[in-house]
Amino acid sequence: MPGVAGGTPGVEGVAGGGRPWRGGLPPAGRGRVGPTSPAPPRRPAPQMHQPARKAVDAVHRVLSELVPATLASERCAELSRYRNLREEVEEAAGASLGRFRARALGMVEVLVDMEASYLTAEFFREILASPGAEGEGPLRGPDGGPLPLAPPPGTPPDRAALWRISRHVMAYLQVVSNQLTATVPKAVVHCQVVPAKEAALEPLRLAVGGKDSPGLRRLLAEDEAVARRRAQCASRLSLLRKARREIAESIGW
């Protein structure tokens, strides 16, 4: 029976006493929302996301530790002369790794949501309607022990139905676990490891390309002691060249 004035479809129900309800929202517990108002999507339990998040965080920690270790290595010894540039490199790498971590977290959460969304009410209806649910292959319970292939003899029908549901749910969870075990590492490598190797300093490169001369001089500013030594060497070289010219002129070279 239409529930809004004018016969607008989508919400229908009745008020108390069998009288049709019209206008506004339906009373609590009465009426139903039609196909034009879908229910919000269910979110999996937070425990389903935790292993995937831990994998992302573990890789992030390893990559973050590699940054200072690499800057302190012999391959980057020359960079130690330019303190400002070294700090810019370390800061840019850390910011990039943070973005890669956020992207990986979003990816693995989508993977978990996608796999978990298959479990619907229709899934349980099919279980209850099936004549038997022995399944195939060994299944493991929450404690890691194998699940029996059939309920104990003499189990009441209602308990047997619950047993079938639990076995099907465990079978589903095992499939999801195997699927995520295969896909989460790929997502981590794709979103964290590969970008860290290829583009961790790309924002710094773009930023340096847009700096003016004072900004570049600040990045390439050497240690004060090194700068004084360089100035002294340049002055002595200039004096040596001048003396060489004077000697050459005096002997007629």
For 176-219, how does the pLDDT look when each residue is reduced to its tens digit (9 = 90+)?
788 888 899 999 999 999 999 999 988 888 888 787 777 777 77
Q: Euclidean distance between the first and final Cα of the chain, in Å?
A: 116
Q: Backbone dihedral region of 136: left (phi > 0), alpha (psi from -120 to 50 degrees) or beta?
A: beta
Among 58, 67, 100, 82, which Cα is nearest to 191's?
Answer: 100
Q: 62: pLDDT confidence band, cut at 50, 70 and 90? A: very high
Q: 52: pLDDT confidence band, cut at 50, 70 and 90? A: very high
pTM for the full predicted model:
0.60
- Residue 14's SS3 state is strand
What are the structure tokens assigned to 216, written together? 């570049």
Query: Residues with Cβ < 8 Å from 215, sequence gap 6 or more?
Result: none
Q: Are 96 and 118 in contact (CB under 8 A)?
A: no
Compute the distance between CA of residue 104 and CA of residue 196 in angstroms, rounded to an integer: 12
Measure Cα distances from 163 to 116, 134, 140, 156, 167 in Å.
21, 10, 14, 10, 6
Per-residue pLDDT at 21 exceeds 70: no
Q: Output the pLDDT for position 48.
A: 76
Per-residue pLDDT at 28 exceeds 50: no
Compute the distance between CA of residue 237 and CA of residue 249 in angstroms, rounded to an integer: 19
Q: Are 101 and 60 in contact (CB under 8 A)?
A: yes
Rounded to an integer, the average pLDDT of 126-155 is: 62
Compute the distance between CA of residue 68 and CA of residue 118 in angstroms, rounded to an integer: 44
Task: Tell which wins on pLDDT, 64 or 169.
Answer: 64
Q: What is the pLDDT of the chain when averaged over all its residues? A: 75
Q: Output the pLDDT for position 108.
A: 93
